[in-house]
Amino acid sequence: MTTHTTLKLNGERLLRQLRELGEIGADPDAGGRTRIALSDDEKAGRDRVVAWMRELDLDVTIDRIGNVFGTLRADTQDADDRAHRPLMLGSHIDTVRNAGALDGCYGVLAGLAVVRAFREAGVKPRRAITVGAFTNEEGVRYQPDMMGSLVYAGGLAVDEALATRGIDGTRLGDELARIGYAGDMEPGAILPHEYVELHIEQGPILEAENVRIGVVENLQGISWQRVTVQGSANHAGTTPTHLRHDAGWVAAAVATFLRELAVQSGTTLATIGMLNIEPNVINVIPRKAVFTVDLRDPDEARLQEAERRLADFLVESAQREGVRIETERLVRFEPVVFDAALLDVIEASAARLGFSHRRMTSGAGHDAQMIARIAPSAMIFVPSRGGISHNPREHTDDDQLIDGANVLLDVVVKRVALA
Amino acid sequence: MTTHTTLKLNGERLLRQLRELGEIGADPDAGGRTRIALSDDEKAGRDRVVAWMRELDLDVTIDRIGNVFGTLRADTQDADDRAHRPLMLGSHIDTVRNAGALDGCYGVLAGLAVVRAFREAGVKPRRAITVGAFTNEEGVRYQPDMMGSLVYAGGLAVDEALATRGIDGTRLGDELARIGYAGDMEPGAILPHEYVELHIEQGPILEAENVRIGVVENLQGISWQRVTVQGSANHAGTTPTHLRHDAGWVAAAVATFLRELAVQSGTTLATIGMLNIEPNVINVIPRKAVFTVDLRDPDEARLQEAERRLADFLVESAQREGVRIETERLVRFEPVVFDAALLDVIEASAARLGFSHRRMTSGAGHDAQMIARIAPSAMIFVPSRGGISHNPREHTDDDQLIDGANVLLDVVVKRVALA
């Protein structure tokens, strides 16, 4: 067995591929790109990634939900576990509207860069390496998000996922067939031995603390609810304060309550991102307010506590203001704890390469949280300038991108050894 | 001189005219009606009112802003002040979208009922009586509201008003000419000796206190502002609370602050009726919030105090959350105090007719507040069920409507005497 110092990551090639993929679906004005899952532009992105997989002579497989896998075979017999249960790397290449060029693309293309390092050195891994690009991570057109990895991990039946109706009325399965990515493989058939996902942080912590590498030890639980407040419209000039049933004020009171809850907790994050009031007229007390609540916490008990306190506050507010309040659960994922052994390896690789590093929590959802249901998993983060993502201004310095990919390569080499 | 007991108000006729006018511009489904100023339906309403004025043999005059006046001549020489400076009654017949049948129509048609009582008794007033229907009180299509009376009182140049562009892009003067109501008279040419406006309360107080007649002694000052908060959009899952610049949260904090201010003050009313946030996405911290603030108080000093406290709170909030806040003044009217002598007369009439009554403040704006700039003015209120207005469910009992008109008749008789 050779030492892994013989493997060299081609950073320039990785950066070039990020730029090339980022030009597919480019927005006319805003400097971003839009590759909504299963659109023509996303098909073009898939085609490009598959072409790059074939350039590397990978075995390309598509599953029934459209997840794309490129596998570098191991130097082992077919019967060996190391052939059939690969180390999996990956992420996704679909985007939100007017997105940056990194996000999921970075994890997929860094996976290809790792495989390329093997190819260019002419060495084979002892365990197969599979690079995956999961379908519809963003959930812009079809709900839920992280759908491809969720189906892959058995959390959603593939036929149910294929029957999903999009916000444009289309059926996901039809669109998948239309773009030519309705594969034959059953989701989950390539069972990963381990899974590692490299990603930009999408938050401000690494930059703020001037740390190079994030060793992501867990991923927050997410609770999304839609809250509907039904009050009474009335004249703003003639209705005394104590006779009001102001749905807009109740929404505002919830927002200020949640801010206090978040500050007190220290770990819970709370956001009202969407809010609409009716009739939305300057001199009419709002009759109705519909808003969403996004609660997150790395600890399930604390997340449940936040949900309970919110529910209590809604009951109190309904009584105090004389309004009706209904809530609807939209999304609920428990926190995910990543694999301790993988975390140690990532930390050791970052240290060996001389990069400052810290354990941290992922605030966003990622495919890794789904794959963690079926295989030991972990994530590696690189800094995001200003914490900005889902935006053309999303940015990570080139050398930071290459450093992250080098940590990934180092981890892979340690886990698959060389032939 | 005869006593005014010879005059009898025809209540059935008044109710029938209210129903007939309420059928013009009827909405297909909702049970309301829509006669936006200077629309075809509002022209039909004007035509009906003018026809009723002619039935009563009134002198009909239209001014350049489209205000319609019907005058019952006095039994005096042309040179007499009582011929040229009439007692004016009135209100408006334009409506909001999907309105009730009363609102301004009640004041106009009750004015005609008063004049009819003179006609039917065959007596002439010592002072002329003019019934006015002012243009565009509601301000739905063209801003500002109360436009016809504002122009009439000299608060807005007629040419400027005619040049107003509507929300549909039309020019007010063109629409006025199109419907045939661009008159010749200069606004203000018929200078009222006094002005009395009968109106539904549009608030819940008379009903809640089981009082028949509101003697409106003043009208709240109104302060409308548009507030724009510019924060930063960021990921709801990855951005720590202390690094947020949440424009939506600032809007919510303002709403809860204003509620506290209103409760503490006891007289100030504060409403956020319109609020829009961007990008309005469930997992994105709002980048921008635009909302309106409606502040009202019958006392100018207290209204200014509320404005000052709001301004201070906005400065503090901008600093605390790291956002930019801009405010734009949309409307500002000082409180109006109605004429003490007229109030005494109204109160005496209500008492003489055996109706419970109370002094009160008008929370809404009315044409009377504009005419008060050029003539002693006052208003009479009747109860609104549930305080509801600008809504098909707007309702005042028939006998309450007739009682209010009888108070108006009694006041008119006292002010103009009989021939």
What's residue B419's pLDDT?
65
What's residue B1's pLDDT?
38
Q: Could B239 and A204 be called an inter-chain contact, meaning their C-beta atoms sit closer than 8 Å?
A: yes
| Three-state secondary structure call for residue B357 | strand
Kindly state the average pLDDT of the residues A127-144: 95
Q: Which residues in chain B have their CB less than 8 angstroms from residue A204's CB?
A: 238-240, 243
Which CATH class name applies to B4-219+335-416?
Answer: alpha beta
What's residue A153's pLDDT?
98
Q: In this predicted model, what pLDDT tens digit does every residue of A323-352 receive, in sequence order?
A: 999 999 988 999 999 999 999 999 999 999
8 A C-beta contact, residue B87 and residue B418: no
Q: Could A269 and B364 be called an inter-chain contact, meaning their C-beta atoms sit closer than 8 Å?
A: no
Give the DSSP H/E element, type plus range, for residue A40. helix A40-55
| Three-state secondary structure call for residue B238 | coil
Output helix, strand, coil percentages for chain A, rounded to the nearest 5.
40, 25, 40
Closest residue in A to B242 (Cα–Cα): A263
- pLDDT at residue A2 above 50? no
Extents of the domains making up chain B: 4-219+335-416, 221-333
Burial of A157 (0-12, 13-18, 19+ CB in 10 A): exposed
8 A C-beta contact, residue A240 and residue B360: no
Q: What ipTM is given for this predicted complex?
A: 0.83
- For residues B85 and B88, what is the distance between their CA atoms, to the nearest angstrom? 9
Contacts of B377 (CB under 8 A, 6+ apart): B194, B195, B196, B197, B338, B339, B342, B368, B369, B371
Q: Could A249 and B256 be called an inter-chain contact, meaning their C-beta atoms sit closer than 8 Å?
A: yes
What's residue B418's pLDDT?
72
Q: Could A204 and B390 be called an inter-chain contact, meaning their C-beta atoms sit closer than 8 Å?
A: no
- For residues A240 and A247, what is the distance between their CA atoms, to the nearest angstrom? 15
Strands A269-271 and A288-297: antiparallel
For chain B, say whether A241 makes contact (Cβ under 8 Å).
yes
Q: Could B202 and A281 be called an inter-chain contact, meaning their C-beta atoms sit closer than 8 Å?
A: no
Q: Could A220 and B205 be called an inter-chain contact, meaning their C-beta atoms sit closer than 8 Å?
A: no
Q: Could A387 and B238 be called an inter-chain contact, meaning their C-beta atoms sit closer than 8 Å?
A: yes
8 A C-beta contact, residue A361 and residue A297: no
Widest CA span in chain A? 85
Q: In this predicted model, what pLDDT tens digit does every residue of A236-256 receive, in sequence order?
A: 998 999 999 999 999 999 999
Q: What is the DSSP annotation of B49-107?
A: HHHHHHHTT-EEEEBTT--EEEEE--SS-TTSHHHHS-EEEEE-----TTB-S-HHHHH
Using CB atoms, which residue from B235, B256, B269 is nearest to A202? B235
Q: Could B281 and A273 be called an inter-chain contact, meaning their C-beta atoms sit closer than 8 Å?
A: yes
What's residue B44's pLDDT?
98
- pLDDT at residue A1 above 50? no
Q: Which residues in chain B have their CB less than 8 angstroms from residue A97's CB?
A: none
What's residue A76's pLDDT?
77
What distance in Å separates residue A236's CA from the closest CA in chain B? Answer: 6
Q: What is the mean pLDDT of chain A?
A: 95
Q: Which residues in chain B have their CB less than 8 angstroms from residue A259's CB?
A: 241, 249, 253
Q: In this predicted model, what pLDDT tens digit does every residue of A34-70 receive, in sequence order?
A: 999 999 999 999 999 999 999 999 999 999 999 999 9
Nearest Cα residue to A37 out of A131, A127, A170: A170
**pLDDT tens for the 419 residues of chain B, in order:** 344 457 999 999 999 999 999 999 999 877 899 999 999 999 999 999 999 999 999 999 999 999 999 999 998 766 677 778 999 999 999 999 889 999 999 999 999 999 999 999 999 999 999 999 999 999 989 988 999 999 999 999 999 999 999 989 999 999 999 999 999 999 999 999 999 999 999 999 999 999 999 999 999 999 999 999 999 988 899 899 999 999 999 999 999 999 999 999 999 999 999 999 999 989 889 999 999 999 999 999 999 999 999 999 999 999 999 999 999 998 899 999 999 999 999 999 999 999 999 999 999 999 999 999 999 999 999 999 999 888 899 999 999 999 999 999 999 999 998 76
User: What percentage of chain A reaches a pLDDT higher than 90?
Assistant: 89
Q: Which residues in chain B have their CB less than 8 angstroms from residue A396's CB?
A: none
Q: Could A237 and B222 be called an inter-chain contact, meaning their C-beta atoms sit closer than 8 Å?
A: yes
- For residues A85 and A195, what is the distance between their CA atoms, to the nearest angstrom? 11
Q: In this predicted model, what pLDDT tens digit does every residue of A369-410 receive, in sequence order?
A: 999 999 999 999 999 999 988 889 999 999 999 999 999 999
Task: Name residues 153-192 of chain B within 8 A of A (Cβ).
Answer: none
Best of A145, A209, A238 to substitute, by most chain B Cβ atoms within 10 angstroms, is A238
Tokens of B384: 């609104």
Kindly state the average pLDDT of the residues A61-81: 89
- For residues A224 and A203, what is the distance between their CA atoms, to the nearest angstrom? 19
CATH code for the structural domain at A221-333: 3.30.70.360
Reported as half-sphere exposure (CB side, CA atoms, 13 A), residue A205 has a value of: 22
Centre a 10 Å sphere on the Cβ of residue A184 and count the other Cβ atoms it contains. Answer: 9
For chain B, say whether A247 makes contact (Cβ under 8 Å).
no
Best of B282, B313, B360 to substitute, by most chain A Cβ atoms within 10 angstroms, is B282
